[in-house]
Amino acid sequence: MKGRIAVYPGSFDPITNGHIDVVKRALAFFDKVIVVVSGHSRKNLLFTTEERVALIKAVYNENTRIEVDSFNGLLVNYLAEKGINRVIRGLRAVSDFEYEFQMVLANRKLNNNIETVFLMPGEEFFFISSSVIKEIALLKGDVSSMTPKVIVEALKKKFNY
């Protein structure tokens, strides 16, 4: 792969406007960002890995600087397979940093060549999380200001309304 490439891993269940803002900010530093959906998660997932990949591809269908992929297992193994050593992570709050700091140290222990770049979304996105969006959508609330239209429609379909 040519150019400066970074991987933005996550569960993205579903992708939010905060995630999208982080990708936009990452493109100021990198030529390409690969949004990588984790197939393994301790979280209670609403969408399958395949559904999440398809939804994110629909969000970014016009942008050639963004790829969408998925992986199972350790991120460091995915990075090694792709020949990439840059990771993007979004931070909203101090509590995010504690978890992310642990992950950076664990990844460095497994592969010292990996560098992680932390980016903060715009403050209008600080309160948005996939969990909040799912909870609001489950109760038939309006999430159209928090996530793209394709995701809103997918949530309505998932929750049968």
Chain segment 87-109, per-residue pLDDT in tens: 999 998 777 888 899 999 999 99
Assign a CATH topology to domain 5-158. Rossmann fold (3.40.50)
Q: Is 19 a catalytic residue?
A: yes
| Predicted local distance difference test score (pLDDT) of residue 2 | 58
Q: Is the pLDDT of residue 43 over 80?
A: no
92 assigned to active site = yes
The span from the first CA to the last CA of the chain, in angstroms, equals: 43
To the query of whether residue 32 is one of the catalytic residues in this protein, the response is no
Cα–Cα distance measured from residue 155 to residue 137, given in angstroms and rounded to the nearest whole number? 7
Q: Which of 24, 25, 92, 158 is catalytic?
A: 92
Mean model confidence pLDDT for the chain: 94
From 43, 140, 149, 156, the catalytic residue: 43
Domain spans of the chain? 5-158
Say whether 11 is catalytic: no
- For the chain, the C-alpha Rg in angstroms (whole number) is 15
Catalytic residue among 19, 32, 89, 134: 19
Tell which wins on pLDDT, 47 or 161: 47
Structure pTM? 0.94
